């Protein structure tokens, strides 16, 4: 029998244990994924990370499903105890004070709310259905004061800039590019498209404290377009999407906000290199302020959520 080599790293976390236990219980990666609100590849990746950290094979895969190895059976006992103890601790908290756990209050940017947050909330809710969540979505510049005043425990979104960063910790997760979205069949979806032509159409941009507009202005200046003025400034995605459908406007937006609309062919992305419009998406917390147990569990899920969908959403080629 193989033995766990003494090289265990701190990367083993609740998500790994939860996934391992559910696969062992169901005997299937697909069934475990359905319970955990994860895709089969995500379950497989999580198990691979756990086995790599432990240095042993925990499960044997076969046509009938999966079964525990000898090391897997040994580890299963301790993993069950650990997860059971954590759940017992949370239950004890829920039975004290007012008789229930206080909700986790988190903020997230508009693009995060549209892209990564739904899957994160599904995964968290599947693991802890009795823990309430409150999610406030909006521009980071508006959410940061709420974080500093104690109204929120953490933020997920663009890295704070300037004076906002004082007293905060920022943990980067991934890079998210901007995009230029239009209705399907927009005149710019033709074969002879040039990025400079965007300036000939009404431009929709986010309403912010100047940072985003500065980057957009610099982008157009690099194309030789000077003194560009936006047609509409809004932080309401539903308004912008509705306006696009009835006009020839062009919306400069984070990819995550329109990822689902593009995949479902409600909107199209213009073929523009928007690398200069990228933003670092991550987790912002108050420096030196300990997080609650619930917040730490939530962040563990956030840290291990695949960012590919939000950072680079699959989309059909813009075409008339």
Residues 211 and 267 in one domain: yes
pLDDT band for 95, please (50, 70, 90 cuts). Answer: low
Could you give the 3-state DSSP secondary structure of residue 317?
coil
Residues 165 and 296 in one domain: yes
Residues 110 and 245 in one domain: no
pLDDT band for 317, please (50, 70, 90 cuts). Answer: very low
Mean pLDDT over the full length of the chain? 81
pLDDT band for 239, please (50, 70, 90 cuts). Answer: very high
Q: How far apart are CA 281 and CA 114, in angstroms?
A: 13
126/267: higher pLDDT = 267
Task: Tell me: pLDDT of 78 over 90.
Answer: no
**CA distances (Å), origin 14, targets 22, 85, 144, 224, 301:** 12, 12, 28, 51, 8
Residues 67 and 212 in one domain: no
Q: How far apart are CA 108 and CA 114, in angstroms?
A: 10
Residues 302 and 163 in one domain: yes
Q: How far apart are CA 295 and CA 317, in angstroms?
A: 39
**Domain of residue 259, residue span:** 178-278
Asked if residue 116 belongs to a domain, the reply is yes
Asked if residue 153 belongs to a domain, the reply is yes
Burial group, residue 4, by CB count within 10 angstroms (0-12, 13-18, 19+): middle
What pLDDT, on a 0 to 100 scale, did the predictor assign at position 91?
60
CA angle 68, 71, 75 (to 5 degrees): 90
CB 310 within 8 A of CB 174: yes
CA atoms within 13 A on the CB side of 306: 13
Residues 32 and 74 in one domain: yes
Task: Tell me: pLDDT of 41 over 70.
Answer: yes
Residues of the chain with pLDDT > 90, as a percent, come to 22
What pLDDT, on a 0 to 100 scale, did the predictor assign at position 116?
81
pLDDT band for 88, please (50, 70, 90 cuts). Answer: low
Task: Tell me: pLDDT of 72 over 50.
Answer: yes
Asked if residue 162 belongs to a domain, the reply is yes
Could you tell me which of 66, 49, 58 has the C-alpha nearest to residue 13? Answer: 49
CATH number at residue 130: 3.40.190.10
Number of structural domains (the chain) is 3
Could you give the 3-state DSSP secondary structure of residue 260?
helix
Over residues 255-271, mean pLDDT:
91
Q: List the alpha helices (DSSP H) in 179-251.
A: 211-222, 237-246
Over residues 103-132, mean pLDDT:
81
Residues 149 and 286 in one domain: yes
Could you give the 3-state DSSP secondary structure of residue 286?
strand
Q: Which of 60-64, 207-211, 261-265, 299-303 has the highest mean pLDDT?
A: 261-265
Q: Which of 87-96, 104-113, 248-257, 304-313 has the highest mean pLDDT?
A: 248-257
Residues 149 and 114 in one domain: yes
pLDDT band for 231, please (50, 70, 90 cuts). Answer: very high
In tens, the pLDDT along 157-196 reads 888 776 567 788 999 988 888 899 999 999 999 878 999 9
Could you tell me which of 96, 20, 90 has the C-alpha nearest to residue 52? Answer: 20
What pLDDT, on a 0 to 100 scale, did the predictor assign at position 306?
59
Residues 134 and 158 in one domain: yes
What pLDDT, on a 0 to 100 scale, did the predictor assign at position 96?
57
């Amino acid at each position: 029998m193989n033995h766990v080599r003494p090289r265990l790293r701190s990367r083993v976390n609740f998500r790994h244990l939860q996934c391992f236990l559910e696969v062992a219980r169901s005997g299937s990666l697909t069934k475990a994924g359905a319970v955990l609100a994860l895709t089969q590849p995500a379950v497989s990746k999580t198990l691979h990370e756990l086995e790599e950290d432990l240095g042993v094979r925990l499960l044997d895969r076969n046509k009938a499903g999966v079964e525990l190895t000898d090391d897997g059976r040994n580890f299963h006992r301790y993993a069950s105890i650990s997860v059971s103890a954590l759940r017992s601790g949370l239950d004890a908290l829920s039975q004290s004070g007012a008789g229930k756990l206080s909700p986790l209050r988190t903020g997230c940017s508009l693009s995060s709310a549209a892209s990564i947050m739904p899957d994160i909330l599904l995964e968290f809710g599947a693991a802890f259905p009795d823990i309430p969540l409150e999610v406030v979505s909006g521009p980071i510049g508006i959410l940061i004061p709420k974080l500093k005043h104690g109204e929120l425990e953490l933020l997920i979104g663009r890295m704070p800039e300037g004076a906002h960063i004082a007293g905060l910790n920022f943990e980067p997760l991934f890079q998210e590019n901007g995009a230029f979205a239009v209705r399907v069949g927009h005149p710019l979806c033709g074969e002879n498209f040039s990025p400079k032509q965007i300036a000939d159409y009404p431009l929709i941009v986010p309403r912010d404290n100047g940072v985003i507009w500065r980057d957009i202005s610099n982008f157009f200046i690099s194309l030789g377009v000077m003194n560009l003025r936006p047609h509409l400034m809004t932080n309401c995605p539903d308004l912008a999407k509705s306006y696009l459908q009835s006009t020839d406007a062009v919306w400069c937006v984070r990819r995550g906000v329109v990822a689902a609309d593009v995949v479902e062919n409600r909107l199209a992305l213009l073929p523009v290199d928007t690398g200069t419009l990228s933003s670092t998406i991550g987790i912002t917390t108050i420096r030196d302020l300990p997080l609650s147990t619930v917040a730490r569990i939530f962040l563990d899920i956030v840290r291990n959520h695949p960012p590919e969908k939000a950072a680079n959403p699959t989309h059909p080629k813009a075409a008339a």
